[in-house]
Amino acid sequence: MRIVVALGGNALLKRGEPMTADSQRANIRRAAEELAQLVKAGHSLVITHGNGPQVGLLALQAAATPDTPFPLDVLDAETAGMIGYVIEQELRNVAKDRLFATLLTQVRVDPRDPAFAKPTKPIGPVYDEATARRLSAGRGWTVAPDNGKWRRVVPSPRPLEILEAEVLAFLVERGVIVICAGGGGIPVVALADGSIAGVEAVIDKDFASSLLARQLDADMLLMLTDIDAVYLDWGTSQARPVGRLQANEINAAHFPAGSMRPKIEAAIIFATATGKPTAIGRLEDAADIVAGRKGTRIDLPVPLH
């Protein structure tokens, strides 16, 4: 199968871990070993990944320099190259007979997207509330609660088109395992004269991965995270994992906005547009999730004949 694999933040940095090169590489090495099992099983992979902690850290460092800091679209590109390099290298080390390529990916968004007026995407380190509010006042940031802590939030417009889709398809059809759309891709807008320009935003990885899977005619969208399955009634005493959900019978609004909701929304969009499944689960269970033995599968019901 042709599978678009979206690596969650746990593939790069576990919650609470120091944001060091060594810790990130160790996590990516673990992810590469799991993905190599899918490659050895004969699947064709296109790999995406998040960049929230990394792009936030770069933005923090850039803001501390005396010169004009780089805008978020440039920092998105920088983190995509940095993380993609490590993913590609670690994959090469465990699947030496395959071809790999990391591609910077521009993703067109609508400059009128309401997300630009209401930042919601968490990036960077976590803070206590007092520190977050002090940074907000001093740097002009928007901050918001995130799992008991506080983080900077930035606009996260919906992706409309992956500009390098034809190049990606060319590589995939020739057997190349591609790492792309890092951090949701580099957000750009189309100008009146037909040119494109970057914008200050971070695109949600799950929505970008869903769009990529549609543009590449993937057979499955696989979202790997640190939770073993989708849970109904999450956060309550009735919380329970579910093995299969019908895309036309679930409401993404019933899931937590900061974690599972974007994945459910992206899965519904992919299933509705293509009739093909999305699978969600732990990175460590990747092969079993694809085989249907673990995780949660979201698709459309099989029509009765």
**Are residues 180 and 260 both part of a single domain?**
yes
DSSP string for 190-202: E-TTS-EEE-S--
Please give the Cα distance from 53 to 143 (Å, whole number).
14
Please report the pLDDT score of residue 27 as a whole number: 86
Q: Are residues 13 and 60 in the same domain?
A: yes
Residue 305 domain flag: no
pLDDT at residue number 99: 95
CATH number, domain with residue 88: 3.40.1160.10
144 strand-pairing partners: 151
Identify the segments of the chain with pLDDT beneath 70. Answer: 9-11, 15-16, 52-69, 258, 302-305
> Residue 108's pLDDT is what?
97
Q: How many domains does the chain have?
A: 2
> Are residues 146 and 198 located together in one domain of the fold?
no
Reply yes or no on whether 121 is catalytic.
Answer: yes
Name every residue whose Cβ is closer than 8 Å to that of residue 222 and which is 6 or more positions away in sequence. Answer: 3, 4, 5, 6, 278, 279, 280, 286, 289, 290
- The pLDDT score that the predictor gives to residue 304 is 46
Q: Is 10 a catalytic residue?
A: yes
Judged by phi (left if over 0) then psi (alpha if -120 to 50, else beta), residue 105 lies in: beta
For residue 128, being part of any structural domain is answered with: yes
Active-site residue (options: 51, 185, 263, 295): 263
Question: Could you tell me if 206 and 240 lie in one domain?
Answer: yes
Query: Residue 118 — φ and ψ, nearest 5°?
Result: -140, 85
Q: Is residue 304 part of a domain?
A: no
Same domain for 42 and 94, yes or no, is yes
Is residue 45 domain-shared with residue 134, that is, in the same domain?
Answer: no
Asked if 173 and 125 sit in the same domain, the reply is: no
Residue 224 in any domain: the answer is yes
Same domain, 77 and 193: yes
Does a structural domain hold residue 115? no
Choose, from 9, 183, 185, 295, the residue flagged as catalytic.
9
Model pTM?
A: 0.87
Q: Is 9 a catalytic residue?
A: yes
Residue bearing tokens 């951090």: 183
pLDDT at residue 267 in the model: 94
Of 242, 248, 243, 221, give the one whose Cα is nearest residue 303: 248
Q: What is the pLDDT of residue 22?
A: 82
Mark whether 214 and 93 lie in a shared domain.
Answer: yes
Quick check: helix, strand or coil at residue 15? coil
Exactly one of 183, 205, 281, 295 is catalytic; which is it?
Answer: 205
Which residue in 8, 27, 51, 121 is the catalytic one? 121
The domain of 226 spans 2-110+161-299
Q: Given this model, what pLDDT does residue 158 score?
A: 96
Type of residue numbered 185:
G
Indicate if 48 and 180 belong to the same structural domain.
Answer: yes
Identity at 110, one-letter amino acid code: D
263 in catalytic set: yes
Amino acid 236: pLDDT: 78
**Helix pair angle (205-215, 261-274), 10° resolution:** 10
pLDDT of res. 66: 55
177 and 33 both lie in a single domain: yes
Q: Among residues 201, 122, 205, which one has the least CA distance to residue 162?
A: 205
71 in a structural domain: yes
For residue 21, what pLDDT is reported?
Answer: 77
**Same domain for 224 and 126?**
no
Of the residues 129, 154, 179, which one is the last residue of a structural domain? 154
Q: Does any domain span residue 287?
A: yes
Residues 6+ apart with CB under 8 A from 223: 6, 8, 206, 209, 263, 266, 267, 278, 279, 280, 281
- 203 touches 52 (CB < 8 A): no
Interhelix angle 52-63/72-94, rounded to 10 degrees, is: 130
Rounded to an integer, what distance in angstroms lies between the CA atom of residue 163 and that of residue 196?
10
Distance CA 223, CA 227 (A): 10
